[in-house]
Amino acid sequence: MRGPHNIWRLIRTGATLERTGAMKIILDAAEAPRMMRIAVRGMAWPFQWLGLKGDVNQPPVTRALQALGPAYIKFGQVLSTRPDVVGSELAIQLRVLQDKLPPFPVEVAKAEVEKELGVSVDSVFSEFSEPVAAASIAQVHKARLASDGEYVAVKVLRPGIEKAFQKDLDAFYLAASAFNALSPSARRLKPLEVIEHFEGVVVSELDLRMESASASEFADNTEKDEGFALPRVRWALSARRVMTLDWAEGINAADVDAIAAAGHDLTDLSRRVLQLFLNHALRDGFFHADMHHGNLKIAPNGDIIAYDFGIMGHLDEYTRRVYAEILFGFIRRDYNRVAEVHFEAGYVPADRDVNEFARALRAVGEPIFGMNAEQISMAKLLSYLFEVTERFGMETRTELILLQRTMVVVEGVARTFDHRMNIWDAAKPIVENYIKDSIGPRAMTKDLVKTARVLARFGPRLPALAEAALVRLGEEPPAPPKQSKWTVFGWALLGAGFTTVAAVVIAALS
């Protein structure tokens, strides 16, 4: 219930933020009016003794959110994907949030598995380890199947985590509503929409069947990608609160020394991790949106293994084409085309000056191209780009922000392997190939065939739909004109010809 009983939660939250020094940073990032700052801090200051102390070695915001618990940690991680809301500087701080929490007992995990799967743990697994990783929502155990002796990873949700998250979500909604009412100038941040987006992310993560489905779809899309591997989902041993996958054996991507000692080519890994991500985003429109070191391993054969599919990004085909053209325009330094694409897609209001926007984009791109490979920063580029697009009234697009944020994270992983890696050189062949396949004559033919298929499917209903529309407008449907048998024969022949041509084109493209 989003009612007054959540006030205590907000008092504790405000007290913790004030005690850790995070309150001022958050109000600055939100550009809160002076009177609101005075009011909020004035209410929080007397209660700061009630606030949680947290880890004094952490930056203020990270320290506060980790002290407040799982929902706040996850909220901070989601906000790290929204520099348009919290600003680039705070978004970077939030990216280091670690959701490592004390594990719950292995006996409790086994009981959850038995309850969810309806089987005895000892009959299915010959081994079931203590937790090997414990996060804010779930923890992972290494287990061995009794049937074939293969090792698997068993992910189990924390007991009671759904109720705990719902209570904090209610408090978040109350805070967002108050923020909307007290600070009209801050409504541009759309606090209620931000909470709704967070709720959508959390609801998906709290149902491991959804994560299993994401892992399965991702595996199907990337099956033929060389040098990339995903653990297989064990559907028979997965349910809403339990997820079982093959065990991924490899070296954690953050342990560069061990990877180098194993004889892997770091320069190749650097290039490959970026190109794989771009392929998934542009080619498939479905990408791993949390591709940091902790979710990647390097297999003994050099494959990059990804896991933890709680946060995935999705782009429709139109958005992919727009984004590819924007990227390609930057790579070619064709700022006029980049500006035109923004206007054509409706991202920037039509009443703005396209030439002025192109000059602003040039001011973003040219300094980057003047740098050597080690100085190029995707984070800096996107920070400048957000400033420019905000100035020109570009509406926030959550899916693009998630894509851009993930690209920054992937760039960080790539530079861990090789700090001299040039992101533009690595991205160019992937973007060029996508442009060739999606915006050329072949792509236009495919689009026409798709349109023909839709029309063919709805063809029999078109006369009735047209008649119903005319009736709604208060008009009588016109009487069909009299046609000779030769006219009818001509239309039938034309229709047969069109159907034949469409069939040939479809067959050629299949």
- What pLDDT sits at residue 332? 82
**CA–CA separation, 93 vs 489, rounded Å?**
72
253 within 8 A of 299, measured Cβ to Cβ: no
Give the mean pLDDT per block of 10 residues along the chain (510 residues). 65 81 75 68 71 81 84 80 68 70 91 94 95 89 95 94 85 77 61 78 86 95 94 95 95 93 94 93 91 91 93 87 82 88 86 91 78 64 68 71 79 87 82 77 68 70 75 62 50 45 44
**CA–CA separation, 278 vs 266, rounded Å?**
19
Tell me the two tokens of residue 178: 């108050």
**CA–CA separation, 190 vs 197, rounded Å?**
11
86 within 8 A of 25, measured Cβ to Cβ: no
281 within 8 A of 404, measured Cβ to Cβ: no
Q: What pTM was estimated for this model as a whole?
A: 0.74
- What pLDDT sits at residue 501? 44
Tracing tokens 């920037």 back to the chain, one arrives at 348
Burial class, 224, CB count within 10 angstroms (exposed 0-12 / middle 13-18 / buried 19+): exposed
Phi, psi of 298 (to 5 degrees): -110, 115
**CA–CA separation, 353 vs 342, rounded Å?**
12
Determine the 3-state secondary structure of 60 from DSSP.
helix
**CA–CA separation, 455 vs 6, rounded Å?**
53
- What pLDDT sits at residue 503? 45
Burial class, 413, CB count within 10 angstroms (exposed 0-12 / middle 13-18 / buried 19+): buried
Domain spans of the chain, in order of start: 4-99, 100-166+175-247, 250-439, 442-509
Could you list the beta-strand ranges (E) of 272-350.
286-288, 296-298, 304-306, 312-314
Please identify every residue annotated as catalytic: 290
Tell me the two tokens of residue 335: 């700022």
- For the chain, counts of helices (H) and of strands (E): 23, 10
Phi, psi of 74 (to 5 degrees): -65, -40
Determine the 3-state secondary structure of 305 from DSSP.
strand
Tell me the two tokens of residue 404: 């851009």
Tell me the two tokens of residue 30: 């939100």
